[in-house]
Chains A and B, each alone.
Chain A
Amino acid sequence: MAIKVYGSMISTATLRVLLCLAEKDLDYELIFIDLATGEHKSPHMLSNNPFGQIPAFEDGDIKLIESRAIMQYIVRKYADKGTELMSSDPKKMAEQSVWMEVESQKFEPATTKLIWELCMKRFLFGKKGDDAVVAELLPALGRLLDVYEARLSESKYLGGDGFSLADLYHVPVIKFLTEAETKMKKLFHARPHVSAWVTDVLSRPACLKVFCKHAYCKGG
């Protein structure tokens, strides 16, 4: 039975799941949910996702919410397809799991407002973000990226030697932010190991495949 994703190409959480499906060479149907009209808060979507968020995910009888939980399900269920993404070695898995949590507990909170100011305001309302708000948020993200720089000077990817969910979790936000403004791009590329990592993860075939459907992430 077909995999269905209810979501939007301007939602980083939706894109996270689509990237995972692409890495796993899985076909899916994307059912567009219009954030601009508040469709994610409509009764039919609330029955899919009681938090009124996207994405919602169906694989046959299985219904799931929460992008990161959906990705872990996909990786476990389709272990023999595409890129591995989660190691079967418990020690390697634990290291990947640490950096998956760093994304969820540190990177996401440090970037949510930046994504809102620099991307969502433009995508949804055609408006420019508030420069003062952005300027206030940059130092904290810079400090976080300093820790990433140290980590990525020891290992090629966040979770270890191989590309994993720990990296993939970051991709939509990095894609949006680095293309939104030159100063955001500079923030990532000022750090040599972070810079190499960003270039690497954004040029993966799965990433190119998902984002080529997505011309409007540049230029609104």
Chain B
Amino acid sequence: MATPVTVYGPPLSTAVSRVLVCLLEKDVPFQLVPISMAKGEHKKPDYLKIQPFGQVPAFQDDEITLFESRAICRYIAEKNPSKGTMGLFGTNPLVKASIDQWLEAESQSFNPPSSILAFQLVFAPRMKLKQDEALIKQNEAKLVKVLDVYENRLGESRYLAGDEFTLADLSHLPNTQYLVEKANRAELFTSRKNVGRWWDEISSRPSWKKVVEMQNAPPQ
């Protein structure tokens, strides 16, 4: 039995939860080191050695230290091709190209507006920060355009990259969870037939339910 891999960061962080759901999909045992951002642990010199931007997550296994959630997910999927969900990062170059394309769409088109909305609508109130209404409006409009493209795409195929659940879908889980469950923006997703069907399907995977459970567990 290999030593469990280590993930640094709280499950409430969208980037941390992206890595956790990937590990669960791939049946890779892990231990979580819950870096306290409130105490500024992510800016301490020891942590900066493994994550030079002072952000979460960071990741370690017996061979390597990594950061950037999407790079970590790619590494986990590439390293464990025959474990858990086999097709997570594709089994042939053509499927891989399709996964990369929709992963990039997530990273470049979906993530910027949805992260801003999750921060403004969920985290700002928790941190007692004033919400920026103009910014919320502007990014809602951007997200609507992206979701319209997704609606078409998901009318053609069950998942974004094709017939199978892949990293491209997985990468959308963290931000969407906040917008649907905590930000009163479920309608953006459920009002679109195919996007709604897709969200139901990907968010009810046991891996993601487990991550949500970890997010909702009282802090230790």
Interface, chain A (partner B; CB < 8 A): 50-51, 62, 64-70, 72-73, 76-77, 90-91, 93-95, 97-98, 100-102, 104-106, 108-109, 147, 150-151
Chain B residues within 8 Å of A72, by CB: 96-97, 100
Cβ of A69 and Cβ of B103 under 8 Å apart? yes
Is B43 an interface residue, CB under 8 A from the partner?
Answer: no
Measured CA separation A90–B63 after assembly (Å):
10
Contact with A along B109-138 (1 / 0, CB 8 A): 100100000000000000000000000000
Measured CA separation A177–B135 after assembly (Å):
27
Cβ of B66 and Cβ of A98 under 8 Å apart? yes
Is B67 an interface residue, CB under 8 A from the partner?
Answer: yes
Cβ of A66 and Cβ of B149 under 8 Å apart? no
Chain B residues within 8 Å of A97, by CB: 68, 71, 74-75
Chain B residues within 8 Å of A102, by CB: 53, 68
Chain A residues within 8 Å of B70, by CB: 101, 105
For the complex, would chain A's binding face be called helix, strand, loop or mixed by DSSP majority?
helix
Measured CA separation A68–B67 after assembly (Å):
19
Chain A residues within 8 Å of B149, by CB: 50-51
| Given contacts A76-B93, A98-B67, A147-B53, A105 and B107 within 8 Å (CB-CB) | yes
| Given contacts A109-B112, A151-B52, A94 and B104 within 8 Å (CB-CB) | no
A79, closest chain B residue (CB) = B93
B200 to chain A, nearest CB (A): 23
Cβ of B68 and Cβ of A101 under 8 Å apart? yes
Contacting residues of chain B (171-205) with chain A, CB-CB under 8 angstroms: none
Cβ of A106 and Cβ of B53 under 8 Å apart? yes
A145 to chain B, nearest CB (A): 12
A13, closest chain B residue (CB) = B108
User: Which of B75, B104, B107 sits near A90, CB closer than 8 Å?
Assistant: B75
Measured CA separation A220–B78 after assembly (Å):
44
A64, closest chain B residue (CB) = B101
User: Which of B66, B97, B101, B146 sits near A94, CB closer than 8 Å?
Assistant: B66
B159 to chain A, nearest CB (A): 16
Is B79 an interface residue, CB under 8 A from the partner?
Answer: yes
Beyond A66-B101, A106-B53, A151-B52, 18 additional contacts (C-beta under 8 Å) are A51-B105, A62-B97, A65-B105, A69-B104, A72-B96, A73-B97, A76-B93, A76-B97, A77-B93, A90-B75, A90-B78, A90-B79, A94-B71, A95-B64, A101-B68, A102-B53, A105-B68, A109-B112
Chain A residues within 8 Å of B66, by CB: 94-95, 98
- 11 pairs of residues in contact across A and B, judged by CB atoms under 8 Å: A50-B152, A51-B149, A64-B97, A66-B104, A68-B104, A73-B93, A77-B93, A90-B78, A98-B67, A101-B69, A101-B71
Chain B residues within 8 Å of A147, by CB: 52-53
Chain B residues within 8 Å of A109, by CB: 112
Chain B residues within 8 Å of A101, by CB: 68-71, 107
Q: Which 3 A-B pairs have the closest CB atoms?
A: A101-B68, A66-B104, A69-B100
A164 to chain B, nearest CB (A): 13
Which of A65, A66, A76 has the most C-beta atoms of chain B within 10 angstroms of its own C-beta?
A66
Cβ of A93 and Cβ of B68 under 8 Å apart? no
Is B2 an interface residue, CB under 8 A from the partner?
Answer: no
Measured CA separation A102–B66 after assembly (Å):
12
Contact with A along B49-86 (1 / 0, CB 8 A): 00011000000000110111111001100110000000
Chain B residues within 8 Å of A65, by CB: 101, 105
Measured CA separation A150–B52 after assembly (Å):
9
Measured CA separation A117–B134 after assembly (Å):
22
A105, closest chain B residue (CB) = B68
| Given contacts A50-B149, A97-B74, A73 and B100 within 8 Å (CB-CB) | yes
Chain B residues within 8 Å of A77, by CB: 93
Is B141 an interface residue, CB under 8 A from the partner?
Answer: no
Cβ of A69 and Cβ of B109 under 8 Å apart? no
B69, closest chain A residue (CB) = A101
Chain A residues within 8 Å of B63, by CB: 91
B24 to chain A, nearest CB (A): 20
Is B158 an interface residue, CB under 8 A from the partner?
Answer: no
